[in-house]
Amino acid sequence: MPLFFHVDLDAFFASVEQREHPEYRGKPVIIGLPVSRSVVSTCSYEARKYGVHSAMPAVTAKKLCPNGIFVPPNMRLYSSVSHSVMSILKEYSPVFHQVSIDEARLDMTGTGKLFGPPKPLALKIKERIKNEIGITMSVGIASSPFIAKMASDYNKPDGLCMVSPGFEQKFIDAIGLEKIWGLGKSSISAMHSHGLFTPVQVRELSLNSLTKTFGKSMGTYVYKAVRGEDPNTYEEARSHSISTETTFFQDVKDSESLHRCLLSMSHELMGRSLDEGVMAKTVGLKLRWGDFTTITVQTTPDYPILNADQIYSISKSLLSSKWKEGEGIRLLGLGLYQTYSSDKPIQDSLFSEGEHKKRELDKVVHALESRGLKLQKASVLEEG
């Protein structure tokens, strides 16, 4: 019988801050500063009582909760705490998947002989994390990752919820359509507009009629989900992407600032792609105008993208294809897509020798920077 644990750290960033600062405990802690164009990243359960939640504009949070403790995010700290938690969790299953900084999935199938029944085991792991790390977590236990994920949400915070085999559909009925993972605002309102408000109502419709109404993918997804079946046909190891973006305090209108930003983003992306040992076939640019409308452009050149200079020059031409000097830009983003392992032999052109040399230089600079020696790129170039 398959058995999965889904672990979700409670209000993770806020909990870490409360661990570090005893004076924050029991108080509304909000990660994010109450300034224009900023949003709440996470908040403590004390803050949620005021109606504050993730993704809310931080100035709105300030109005709802004037006495809230607003803290800028400290990702380094959270990453290191996350790493410590994950190391402990890994002791309990070799088939371990870290879903995000604060979530993990453990395949516990067949571990009964070693660790005993699931519920006491989960309690034991929770206790360990509380004692050794100093934060609480919620665990969902079920026969599939999909149900386990939603079960972890059921009794938050410091929760434990087990859905016994055979009770998956009952569980879905109990949580309702809105709490089904993967159904967001848009899908829910589409279903409402078709008179569907509960899993029971959706179950009365055939697979055929669901796919006709909601499309093949979404139709199949809800058909399975309302029956308590795992709709995720997730296969691993597909090409992924690396991206970065920034929202300006005020709309930016001049090319010099945008170019400066693209240059530094190009180097950041190059560094991250070197760390991950990947290269990319596609470069994409994202622009958000002052009125919040957002567009993207991407291009897949017929030569290999080898260094930061290339990323930079591609990004500039993408920018000039969509933007004219003087138009206000709220957000600028740059990404690498269609990545592939840099171990693979490069489809090379005859003329890219110089690009390879620049790549080697990028590697050297990145390696030095990673060791904390901040070099002025210009001085390196002079020597080269």
| Catalytic sites, residue numbers | 103
- Closest approach, Cβ 124 to DNA, in A, equals 24
* Under rule CB under 7 A, residue 39 binds DNA: yes
**Candidate list 199, 314, 333, 366; residue touching DNA; CB under 7 A:** 333
* Under rule CB under 7 A, residue 33 binds DNA: no
Give the CA angle between residues 336, 318, 268 to the nearest 5°: 35
Cα→Cα distances 379→33, 264, 367, 373, Å: 37, 17, 16, 13
Q: Two tokens at 273? A: 């792609």
**Candidate list 98, 136, 338, 352; residue touching DNA; CB under 7 A:** 338
Please identify, using beta-carbon distances, which residue of 257 and 300 lies nearer to DNA.
300
Which among 42, 81, 34 is positioned nearest to 58, based on CA atoms?
34
- β partners of residue 117: none
| 8 Å CB contact between 285 and 318 | yes
* Under rule CB under 7 A, residue 136 binds DNA: no
**Candidate list 67, 87, 131, 186; residue touching DNA; CB under 7 A:** 186
* Under rule CB under 7 A, residue 272 binds DNA: yes
Which among 126, 145, 146, 125 is positioned nearest to 136, based on CA atoms?
126
Which among 334, 336, 312, 323 is positioned nearest to 246, based on CA atoms?
334
- Closest approach, Cβ 128 to DNA, in A, equals 21
- Strand pairing class (137-142; 160-162): parallel
Which among 162, 148, 152 is positioned nearest to 107, based on CA atoms?
148
> Of residues 59-118, which lie at the interface with DNA (CB under 7 A)?
59-60, 99-103
Per-residue interface string for the shown chain with DNA, residues 212-241, x marking contact by CB under 7 A: ---xxxx--------------xx---x-xx
Please identify, using beta-carbon distances, which residue of 24 and 78 lies nearer to DNA.
78
Please identify, using beta-carbon distances, which residue of 272 and 316 lies nearer to DNA.
272
Residues that bind DNA (CB under 7 A): 36-39, 41, 54-57, 59-60, 99-103, 149, 181-188, 215-218, 233-234, 238, 240-247, 272, 281-282, 284, 291-292, 294-300, 330-331, 333, 335, 338
